[in-house]
Amino acid sequence: MTVYIKRVYDEPAADDGFRVLVDRLWPRGMSKDKAKPDVWLKEVGPSNELRKWFGHDPAKYEEFKKRYQKELAHNAAFAELEKIVKGKQIVTLLYSAHDTEHNQAVVIKAYLEK
């Protein structure tokens, strides 16, 4: 399986494969028709406490990654994600953050690829 990450605001493409929105909150200003997720797994996103603590501050990213991986290890939604994508050739994780390097989709991708 090949896993890509992509901002939900970017145009959907035929080579995105199975599209999974991994944000806890629906992306601001985005309609479902425009986002085109195959599934929205909001519970796989970071907890509200962790999300608010992180605040998309790159200086906190390494600690965010550690804390989020601990959450994923005990998250039923992550187990559901693994089941959903099993057997899919291409999966694209969609996120809404502006920062393309420091966000939950990057952490989920690495965790899926373990």
Q: pTM, whole model, 2 decimals?
A: 0.95
The Cα–Cα gap between 111 and 31 comes to 28
**Domain map (residue ranges) of the chain:** 2-112
Per-residue tens of pLDDT for the chain, all 114 residues: 999 999 999 999 999 999 999 999 999 999 999 999 999 999 999 999 999 999 999 999 999 999 999 999 999 999 999 999 999 999 999 999 999 999 999 999 999 998
Q: Which of 9, 3, 24 is nearest to 104 (CA)?
A: 24
> In this predicted model, what pLDDT tens digit does every residue of 29-49 receive, in sequence order?
999 999 999 999 999 999 999
